[in-house]
Amino acid sequence: MGPDLEKAIHELSLRMRLFRAMQEEDSSEDGLTERDLMILELLNSRGKLTVSEVAAAYSNVSFSTISTDITKLWRDKQMLSKTINPKNQRVTVVELTDKGKEAIEASTKQRAERYQRLFEAIKATQQEKEILVRIIERAVMFFDKNFGFGKITEK
């Protein structure tokens, strides 16, 4: 990758994160972290999971950190329900509550608005959007293949 492309990706990424932070500051009453949202998105895409399955999807984060995040989302924010498996009481199953589903819907809507604003502002043509989609799809396949991220969104 040449320095121009690397710089362009970095600059766009920085501005999208800043824009996201501004948008969330205006509308986020729940105070969700990026990892909180990722846990909610994982449960939204895969349904009920054990705490261990959630932790396994985020191998770079310790089990205890994920467990603490899940407890916060359950106890403090009521976005998850927790159920002890009656057949094996050492296993806890978590799933989204209606409040968790609403948080995911709001986050998804915000993200869509950000992307829509961006494409309107830069006046991307349909052809440019199609090219970008193909490039992004290849990037997603790279991450899924090389880092196992596909297990995060697969059902």
Q: Per the domain annotation, does 7 fall within a domain? A: no
Least confident of 20-24, 43-47, 136-140: 20-24
| Interval 15-35 mean pLDDT | 70
Q: Per the domain annotation, does 2 fall within a domain? A: no
Q: Per the domain annotation, does 22 fall within a domain? A: no
Least confident of 17-31, 49-63, 121-135: 17-31
Q: Which residues pair with 95 in a beta bridge?
A: 81
Give the total number of structural domains in the chain.
Answer: 1
Residue 61 CB contacts under 8 Å (≥ 6 apart), including other chains: 35, 55
Average per-residue pLDDT for the chain: 86
Task: Check which CATH number belongs to the domain holding 100 and give it.
Answer: 1.10.10.10
Of residues 148 and 86, more confidently modeled: 86
Q: Per the domain annotation, does 119 fall within a domain? A: yes
Q: How far is CA 135 from CA 56, 80, 95, 124, in A?
A: 28, 35, 33, 15
Of residues 130 and 151, more confidently modeled: 130
Q: Per the domain annotation, does 48 fall within a domain? A: yes
Q: What is the value of pTM for the model shown?
A: 0.73
Q: Per the domain annotation, does 110 fall within a domain? A: yes
Q: Per the domain annotation, does 141 fall within a domain? A: no
Q: Per the domain annotation, does 115 fall within a domain? A: yes
Which structural domain range is residue 89 located in? 32-123
